[in-house]
């Protein structure tokens, strides 16, 4: 028994044989919510976290501003989770956007809605959100044990009995009537999410869908991206081409880096790109630098510019069309000499420029490692989990919540809401 360093409190009215009624593994958004909700129903709850504090990943979300959720409908939410979206329906019905905003508001975190219906805290501070939730958890009466790593699940007769842990090199066991596993994914391991939950669930008999990075920057061929490193483009479209077929298209903001392409647009397309690369398909990203103009309108615009600036050199004219960093790349890729007088550019060359502006193409050769992903795709197969309670279909009284499950969505606050909603449902179901 670990009682020596945990001293679990036994409720005199309800002396149980177990150390706790409920043990929650992992103190991210899913675990905090699950533990808090369970404790609110007068259960003896222990949240076990291997790091020194709660919500290490939550504290760096949304570039430190924390995109908490998205002010949209349940149907729209489910759409952003792709084929596993329906699994989340009961969780969203039980605890959705307004519930989360209300809970945060009651705990001193007012929220606001920004572009794309993204919900942020008014204080624009992810650490303050994590602190507010930690304080709320304390008030619910749940206990916490930090620097404690769960190393195994105790299972007897297909039912959970407790956990094994390691704390400062000491090992031991803790018993409980129910366990909620909320260990997150495998990305940003320095936050504590190292994929332990996949091993624990697998040992309990669960199937794990291959874990791979999603919302991940893409690595491209050649040195074009490197030359454009640091350049960010807004209001462009990027489309994903797989084996010469257009598979998806997004409008927004992107960034060139020393290895390839990043930014919200690319992250959104990355899940499909990773899957295609894994299938050994040819993957390309095509950037449309002038998405507001179709070929005909763009040609009319170029004709007008060419006649207005007929005496200028080609590279000077390009300043009215492109950010400075893109100009040398445009000159190299269109093959039109930089000092050519605009009035002398012929129709074929103009067509070449127009095509390049609408079709700036990169061959994708890979993706950054899962450690750099915003989210892990794959995880515990949702078919083996009851969507109405989050309970395992394999081990009685074992529950799951958050990113450890095979659920992942686009950027926009969907992933945090899913962690909170599944955590809530598991917490009230136990």
Ligand X SMILES: Cc1cc2nc3c(=O)[nH]c(=O)nc-3n(C[C@H](O)[C@H](O)[C@H](O)COP(=O)(O)OP(=O)(O)OC[C@H]3O[C@@H](n4cnc5c(N)ncnc54)[C@H](O)[C@@H]3O)c2cc1C
The residue within the footprint of ligand X, chosen from 188, 241, 256, 424 (CB under 6 A), is: 188
Among 43, 44, 50, 161, binds ligand X (CB under 6 A): 50
DSSP-based three-state secondary structure for 17: coil
Q: Concatenate the DSSP letters of all residues of 237-263 into one string.
A: EEEEEETTEEEEEEEEEEEE-SSEEES
Structure tokens at 288: 């449309």
Per CB under 6 A, the list member of 182, 261, 274, 398 interacting with ligand X is: 182
Between residue 234 and residue 293, which ones bind ligand X under the rule CB under 6 A?
A: none
The minimum distance between CB 89 and ligand X, in angstroms, equals 18
Which residue reads 């945990």 in tokens? 6
Spatial separation of the C-alpha atoms in residues 258 and 261, rounded to whole Å:
8
Where do the H-state alpha helices sit in 166-263?
196-203, 224-227
Report, in Å, the least distance between residue 165 CB and ligand X.
8
Smallest distance from the beta carbon of 252 to ligand X, in angstroms?
A: 15
Exposure of 43 in the CB half-sphere (CA atoms within 13 A):
26
Distance between CA atoms of residues 218 and 220, nearest Å: 6
> SS3 for 161?
strand
Complex with ligand X: residue 60 or 352, whichever CB lies closer:
60
Reference 142, options 9, 317, 246; nearest CA is 9
Give just the sign of the alpha carbon dihedral 381, 395, 391, 45: negative
Binding segment (CB under 6 A) for ligand X, from list 47-55, 227-235, 242-250, 294-302: 47-55
Residues 111/104, Cβ–Cβ less than 8 Å = yes
List Cα–Cα distances, 292 to 237, 296, 306, 319, 320, in angstroms: 9, 11, 19, 18, 16
From candidates 44, 56, 80, 161, binder to ligand X by CB under 6 A = 56
**Residue 378 binds to ligand X (criterion: CB under 6 A):** no
Judged by beta carbon, residue 218 or residue 242, the one nearer ligand X is 218
Of the pair 160, 327, the CB lying nearest ligand X is at 160
Q: Which of 44, 57, 80, 206 contacts ligand X by CB under 6 A?
A: 57
Residue 43 has which token pair?
């259960």
Output the smallest distance, CB 355 to ligand X, in A. 37
Q: Which part of the chain contacts ligand X (CB under 6 A), choosing from 136-144, 172-180, 329-337, 410-418?
A: 410-418
Binding ligand X (rule: CB under 6 A), the pick from 62, 260, 263, 427 is 62
Which tokens belong to 115? 């572009």
Binding-site size for ligand X (CB under 6 A) equals 38
Q: Which is nearer to ligand X, 57 or 290 (CB)?
A: 57
Q: Under 8 Å CB-to-CB from 308, ≥6 apart: which residues?
A: none
Alpha-carbon gap, residue 288 to 263, rounded angstroms: 15
**Is residue 385 at the binding interface for ligand X, with CB under 6 A as the rule?**
no
Of residues 7-46, those binding ligand X (CB under 6 A): 25-31
3-class DSSP state for residue 133? helix
Q: Which of 104, 160, 331, 419 binds ligand X (CB under 6 A)?
A: 419
CB 107, min distance to ligand X, A: 18
Question: Would you state the structure tokens that stand for residue 237, as one six-digit string?
Answer: 């479209």
CA–CA dist 247, 275 (Å, integer): 12
Q: Which two tokens stand for residue 274?
A: 């990773």
Please report whether residue 212 would count as binding ligand X according to CB under 6 A. Answer: no
- DSSP assignment of 271-313: HHHHHHHHTT--EEEEEES-TTS-HHHHHHHHHHHHHHTTTSB
Among 144, 187, 239, 268, binds ligand X (CB under 6 A): 187
Selected binder of ligand X within 374, 377, 395, 407 (CB under 6 A): 374
Supply the minimum distance, in Å, between the C-beta of residue 133 and ligand X: 11
For ligand X, the binding residue among 131, 196, 384, 391 (CB under 6 A) is: 196
Among 392, 415, 421, 429, binds ligand X (CB under 6 A): 415
Site for ligand X in 304-333 (CB under 6 A): none
Give the contact letters, 387-406, x = binds to ligand X (CB under 6 A), - = no: ---------------xx---
Min CB(328)–ligand X separation in Å = 32
- Rg for the chain, CA atoms, rounded: 26
Chain residues binding ligand X by CB under 6 A are 25-31, 48-51, 56-58, 60-62, 66-67, 149-150, 182-184, 187-188, 192-193, 196, 374-375, 402-403, 413-416, 419
């Amino acid at each position: 028994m670990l009682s020596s360093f945990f001293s679990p409190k036994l409720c005199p009215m309800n002396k149980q044989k177990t150390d706790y009624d409920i043990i929650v593994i992992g103190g991210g958004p899913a675990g905090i919510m699950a533990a808090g909700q369970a404790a609110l129903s007068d259960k003896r709850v222990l949240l076990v976290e291997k790091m020194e504090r709660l919500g290490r990943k939550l504290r760096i979300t949304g570039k430190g501003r924390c995109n908490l959720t998205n002010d949209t409908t349940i149907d729209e939410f489910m759409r952003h989770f792709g084929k596993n979206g329906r699994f989340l329906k009961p969780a969203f019905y039980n605890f959705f956007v307004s519930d989360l905003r209300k809970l945060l508001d009651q705990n001193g975190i007012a929220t606001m809605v920004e572009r794309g219906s993204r919900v942020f805290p008014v204080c624009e501070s992810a650490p303050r959100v994590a602190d507010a939730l930690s304080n709320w958890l304390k008030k619910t009466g749940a206990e916490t044990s930090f620097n404690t790593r769960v190393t195994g699940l105790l299972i007897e007769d297909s039912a959970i009995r407790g956990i094994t842990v390691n704390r400062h090199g000491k090992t031991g066991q803790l018993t409980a009537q129910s366990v909620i596993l909320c260990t997150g994914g495998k990305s940003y391991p320095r936050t504590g999410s190292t994929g332990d939950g996949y091993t624990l669930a697998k040992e309990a008999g669960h199937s794990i869908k291959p874990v791979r990075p999603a919302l991940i920057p893409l690595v491209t061929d050649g040195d074009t991206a490197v030359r454009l490193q640091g350049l960010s483009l807004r209001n462009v479209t990027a489309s994903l081409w797989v084996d010469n077929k257009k598979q998806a298209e997004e409008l927004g903001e992107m960034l060139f880096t020393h290895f390839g392409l990043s930014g919200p647009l690319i992250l959104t397309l990355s899940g499909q790109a990773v899957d295609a690369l894994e299938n050994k398909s040819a993957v390309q990203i095509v950037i449309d630098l002038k998405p507001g103009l179709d070929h005909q309108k763009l040609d009319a615009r170029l004709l007008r510019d060419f006649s207005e600036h007929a005496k200028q050199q080609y590279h000077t004219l390009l300043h009215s069309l492109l950010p400075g960093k893109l100009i040398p790349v445009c000159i190299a890729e269109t093959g039109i000499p930089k000092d050519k007088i605009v009035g002398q550019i012929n129709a074929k060359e103009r067509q070449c420029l127009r095509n390049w502006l609408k079709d700036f193409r990169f061959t994708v050769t890979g993706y950054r490692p899962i450690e750099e992903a915003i989210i892990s795709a794959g995880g515990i197969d949702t078919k083996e989990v009851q969507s109405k309670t989050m309970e395992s279909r394999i081990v009685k009284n074992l529950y799951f919540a958050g990113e450890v499950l095979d659920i992942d969505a686009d950027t926009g606050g969907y992933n945090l809401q899913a962690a909170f909603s599944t955590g809530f449902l598991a917490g009230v179901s136990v």
